[in-house]
Structure 1
Amino acid sequence: MRRLAAAAALVVWAGAAHAQEAVLPALRFGIDRATGPQDVSLTLQIVFLLTVLTLAPAILILLTSFTRIIVVLSFLRNALGTQAMPPNQVLVGLALFLTFFVMTPTWNQVYTGALRPYLDGRIPQAEALERAEPPVRRFLLEHTREKDIALFVRLGQGPRPRSPEEVPFAALVPAFVISELRTAFTIGFLLYIPFVVIDLVVASVLMSMGMFMLPPMMVSLPFKIIFFVLVDGWNLVVGSLARSILG
């Protein structure tokens, strides 16, 4: 027993000694004096990148079709009457991946024309931003009504643009958002119609049978779900959304 205790103590002592000799890495962050213009440029690029990452959710919502997709999916869930099914996480995830899918052509143009040359060092940052603007502007203009653009141009009290390229981004972005909301609400209204018809039919049948105490929503919910499944509703809704954006 003494030998075992001594061996155990030796092992513990050796492990402690090894731990004391081990060198652990340390991370230090600080601000130092710049030695040249390149250091200042790199610092500004890091600050710009952090700013973009902070504003990424707003950029994703305002400059893509995410708004249209998530509003339509929310309308669909309410029309079905399934309350929290599918969950919000599922709807947001589906809306995000649909947004990535429909925005791929635009993002490919931005990547090949602006981002890739900038990362390769062939063009400066200012020129990269100039090259990235036309594809994004073209996408926004294709899905924005002239009436909405005219509204924000008048509110901005600026000069009347003579061509689509002269429309300022400050007026184009909010015009695009309200155009997307109008389109989403129109699609949501069309989605509601068949489910409202089912609710009316079920309510009429229950009243004719004298079942006034039975909630119509409880009876119509299974019929709406089976109807949506039989017509392959998710395929139709997602396909219609993608085609309405891609053209």
Structure 2
Amino acid sequence: MAIYSANLFGSASIGVYSLATEEILIVPKAVSLRKAERMSKWLNVKLIHTNIGGSIVVGALVCANSNGIILPHFVKDEEIEAIKAVFDGNITVMETKKTAYGNMVLANDYGAVVDPRLKPSEIKQISDTLGVEAVPGEIANLPYVGSLAAATNRGALAHPMITDEERKLLEDVLKVRVEATTVNCGIPYVGTGLIGNSHAAIVGSLTTGPEMFIIGHALGVVKEDERIEDFQGNRADIETEL
């Protein structure tokens, strides 16, 4: 079973504080190196141990896939250098007042769905940096697609009130199946409590067994024959405290 449970800064909202792709994991410097390295080992990726603009809310501020990384305008030079030391893809600093690109963009290596309030020029920058088509869209009639959902190259998970039309758009753009779920015992903002890639998923520590069952199967990180009982009330093989 390649699904793990964790806290960061005493919070189960790990998607707010960290970001994962098929290639990298970005974790704030306030997380100990030992803990950060453990997470990167779970996901089988390279570690970037840095804040963004001096802030620990890395997952809310940054969006990325294997091709590129989008950063807010207040990112510091030394933070960009820390990223460049590990990641050799495209890096774009968005020179706009908007900052929470992790909340505004939902991306994998096949496509990106973006906040419809972004300007066409901003959407083009995101598309060029990530190397994929970027399409405006909503989830549950809300624009914060990056916090309302989480996507990998194997699957995506979204707010339970996603409409059929919204689901079709996500599936067409991201080229993966989309499942509806919650995280952290009923939180519908899935992206705030989950990071993952094709190797594994890490969920907030409040995530229930049934939620983990849905997440694990939707992202293709558990065996097909694993049952809900394997997740409910049995966390002996799941790391629980970071």
Fold conserved between structures, TM > 0.5:
no
TM-score by length of 1: 0.20
TM-score by length of 2: 0.21
The structure with more helix, counted as a fraction of residues: 1
Bigger radius of gyration: 1
The structure with more strand, counted as a fraction of residues: 2
